[in-house]
């Protein structure tokens, strides 16, 4: 936590990103910029899951959030009050590589459940997959 402001940096990679179906949940957060983290992205259902093992890069965005919004995000991701580990996701600190090359320490929600290797998103970009699916259906 940043002791001066009580804020935290959070990396989002799926439906919470700008243009994602749950982007409204980031209202009140300060957009810091695009970034990537080391890991692998899988389609779980209508949402993705990030697995931190692997040598891929996952695309996302970094936001600065206050304690209240961080608690709301924890709740959305299924974490109990005051906990950082839920049944599907856990919140962990990782290094993110910002678009300008700066390394940032961020919170990320890592998928803990089962996943199908056939559902791996090779590009590491959930919104890119969602956009291409919409384009094919039109």
Contacts with 25 (C-beta within 8 Å, 6 or more apart), sequence order:
16, 72, 73, 76
Q: Which residues are catalytic?
A: 77
Q: What does DSSP say about strands 57-65 and 8-12: parallel, antiparallel, or unpaired?
A: antiparallel
**pLDDT one-digit tens code per residue, 10-25:** 999 999 999 999 999 9
Q: What stretches of the chain show up as alpha helix (H) in DSSP?
A: 67-76, 126-137
Whole-angstrom Cα distance, residue 56 to residue 37? 8
3-state secondary structure of 103: strand
Whole-angstrom Cα distance, residue 100 to residue 41? 22
Q: Which domains does the chain possess?
A: 8-137 (3.10.490.10)
DSSP string, 75-131: HHTTPPTT-SB-SSEEEEEEEEEETTS-EEEEEEEEE-S---GGGB-TTS-HHHHHH
Neighbours of 95 (CB within 10 A): 13
Residue pLDDT tens, the chain, 138 long: 555 568 999 999 999 999 999 999 999 999 999 999 999 999 999 999 999 987 899 999 999 999 999 999 999 999 988 888 888 999 999 999 999 999 999 999 999 999 999 999 999 999 987 654 544 444
Do residues 11 and 35 lie in contact, with contact meaning Cβ atoms separated by under 8 Å? yes
């Amino acid at each position: 936590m940043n002791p001066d402001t009580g804020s935290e940096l959070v990396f989002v990679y799926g439906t919470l990103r700008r243009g994602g179906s749950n982007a409204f949940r980031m209202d009140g957060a300060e957009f810091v910029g695009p970034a990537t983290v080391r890991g692998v992205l899988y389609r779980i259902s209508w949402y993705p899951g990030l697995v931190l093992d692997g040598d891929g890069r996952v695309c996302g965005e970094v936001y600065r959030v206050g304690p209240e919004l961080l608690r709301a995000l924890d709740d959305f991701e299924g974490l109990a009050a005051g906990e950082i580990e839920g049944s599907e996701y856990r919140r962990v600190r990782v290094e993110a590589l910002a678009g300008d090359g700066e390394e940032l320490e961020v919170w990320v929600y890592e998928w803990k459940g089962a996943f199908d290797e056939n559902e791996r998103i090779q590009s590491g970009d959930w919104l890119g997959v969602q956009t291409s699916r919409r384009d094919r259906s039109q």
